[in-house]
Structure 1
């Protein structure tokens, strides 16, 4: 069993040396799309965390298309070209592309115009397109250590690093009032093995390993996965070292939801109603289910004996 930290959602700090915008994150932003905001909620969430990173950082790096931005949001285009273009020797990305950087807090106002902190995207479709697709990638660094990296159009890439004391906690607070949004350690949150079957509990899915030794898969482990948004009830059964689970029926709710669930189950099978969990792992797994419900506004209940 692997368990991240002495308590759920607590990761140990580490320093990552990297010459790229990419880094090995300790945390990520999980956004279930439930937040009600003025304009695209994914961009509001992105900017909320970016604002905290700008507070802690001293360098901003961005890859983007000034031509695309100029066609859709001239304010953002002007902001991008007001930053310093990075020469080949100083680029953090190793795979090409134009790159700009700025110093913080000196260039903060320019960066905020580029990222549209004024939320032009809330009322202007072109500005929304520019914010989402005209900025290919941006990252904030502090003393050379990565703080935050985002690929705006890939909403699952909102990555944080905990090498700078206080940053992750501040970012967590910044999104705490947004429904279904949380800053969490990178997946998996908890892993365990029972009866030679591997399990992972992630922020949005439960994964179960299958066919690890099957010749059909060339010895590579494959997974069945089930979305926690379909989970209704979790109950601990300590006398059997199990968790009993109840899931939404495939014939419930709207026609679209029924179709999605039936399509999913066609390929992944029915979700498990019982999970074998070793005694030493049962409490951490249950606690993680509880904290995910509270952090991400899941509707399932947890009954811990």
Structure 2
């Protein structure tokens, strides 16, 4: 060690290549013997291969989409028109599609007798008065904006060969909304005052019209299945639309007010305040819970 202290700077520089070669040799030997280093190298190579593979896949997919959109734009420019997509319905299936469709490439028309989107999971809360009616509906034109045309009407016929739908509203199928009623009842001016007359809202009746389409999307939902049980249609309440919730709310309020009448017997009060919920799904369970809590 004393000999190294007496070495000059020039002599130390001569030893530097020898020391570097020895250190490199030791590093190579340690790399060959280290399992962690081998695993790290293999994982790095796997990551590189994965990145290249995924990049190639997404690049090829984007190229195909670009090629398809380019051909579509060229065909639209040659014909001067855009393909028309007609969507039937304004529910959970139709609204997300209408919000994400590219209206610059397609002419989109929405046809439905309901000019609002209904938040159906909140219907049990509306039926017992926990939530007000206006808080669970949203105007369809507010959701889809001016880029998509909306027509308030019923689709009564579809011709798949000619690609034409027929829409109208008659007296039996007038369009209905969630914030009002279909008819206006006015008390008669007769002496007895017991009868009433009904004024029909003529603005709810639309003339029949036909509409052509290139692509038709049917998203009208479904109706409640009664399983052909006698008396269900006449005596039971459904919970499918906003008007159903309002009818249930009115019936519950009438039952409680009638039960509070001083002349009611205890047996009649129990009958009036006895409610039966048919169905143990999300709607039935939520309605039962809301009724018990309220």
Range into which the TM-score falls when normalised by the shorter chain: under 0.3
Which structure dedicates a bigger proportion of its chain to strand? 1
Larger Rg, first or second structure (1 or 2): 2
Bigger helix fraction:
2
Structure number with greater CO (CA < 8 Å, separation at least 6) is 1
